Amino acid sequence: MKSTGVVTEYTEEYKEKCKQAWYAAGRPTNSNLWYNATPEDDLGRKPTAPVLRRWRNDRMWDFWGDEMDSRAIAIVEDSLITKKAEMLQRQADMAWELQTNGMQYLKEKGFDTSASAVSAVIRGAELERTSRGIGEMIVKMASMGDSELKDEIIKMINRGSENDQIVDVEEVPEKKGDTPETVDADTE
């Protein structure tokens, strides 16, 4: 007996839903694992595991998944940078408040009554300087492109070498048999 039914292809929208279900399932390599997570189409059908494998290969789901993973990592990194910058801003604000309170105390009570007020002013100033500088630098660098970052790093290296903060050295390999000389303190 011959079947006279009509064969209907899966729509592009449905194939896209299957790709998304595969990604949401953790990008499994075994199509049987994500088959259960695959939604049914409008006609209540699901493709077989071999069809899902073929779609994954033919439609390059793995490349798409890699791109999605890269985007997700970038979003997480951006979020971490933002959170770090916000934390540094909060620290800078607290440092300013410490300085202000310490100065207020010194104005009201004088220098002889509390060394902690002087310490608060000094520590607050140091913390504010550090926090504001690092926070602003993180925000600035997070918005730079690769070439801008490279240029900024080169500027920092040049500044460091001008101020003798970077020492150029050449590694000299040791010859076999060479040992560092030792001096016995009792013999001198």
**Residue 108 falls within a domain, yes or no?**
yes
What's the mean pLDDT in 76-105?
Answer: 80
One-letter identity of residue 164: D
Q: Is the pLDDT of residue 155 over 80?
A: no
**pLDDT value of position 55:** 94
Q: Which two tokens stand for residue 50?
A: 């071999």
Eight-state DSSP code of residue 114: -
Give a yes or no: residue 1 inside a domain: no
Domain span at 124: 76-161
Q: What is the pLDDT of residues 93-147, one digit of tens each?
A: 887 787 788 778 777 876 655 677 677 677 777 776 666 666 666 667 767 777 7
First-to-last alpha carbon distance for the chain, in angstroms, is 111
Q: Both 54 and 85 in a single domain? A: no
DSSP state of 41: -
One domain for residues 17 and 53: yes
Is residue 52 situated within a structural domain?
yes
Note whether residue 156 is domain-resident: yes
Asked whether residue 167 is domain-assigned, the answer is: no
Look up the pTM and report it. 0.48
Q: What is the pLDDT of residue 95?
A: 77
More confident residue, 141 or 39: 39
- Rounded to the nearest 10°, the torsion over CA 79, 84, 86, 89 is -160
Q: Which pLDDT band holds residue 58 (cuts at 50, 70, 90)?
A: very high
- The C-alpha atoms of residue 71 and residue 78 are separated, in whole angstroms, by 10
Provide the pLDDT for residue 35. Answer: 78
Rounded mean pLDDT, 70-84: 84
Q: Alpha carbon of 120 to those of 48, 88, 112: distances in Å?
A: 70, 18, 15
Q: In terms of domains, do 150 and 93 share one?
A: yes
Q: What is the pLDDT of residue 180?
A: 46
The number of distinct structural domains making up the chain is: 2
Asked if the structure places residue 173 within a domain, the reply is no
CA distance to 15, 16, 32, 78, per residue, from 35 (Å) = 13, 14, 5, 34
User: Per-residue pLDDT for 184 more than 60?
Assistant: no
Residue 126 falls within a domain, yes or no? yes
Determine the pLDDT at residue 185.
41
**Do residues 81 and 123 both lie within one domain?**
yes
Contact assessment for residue 124 and residue 96, using Cβ atoms and an 8 Å cutoff = yes
Q: Is residue 41 over pLDDT 90?
A: yes
Question: Does residue 143 share a domain with residue 105?
Answer: yes
Take residue 166 and report the two structure tokens written for it. Answer: 């970077």
**What confidence score (pLDDT) does residue 93 get?**
81
Is it the case that residue 60 has pLDDT exceeding 90?
yes
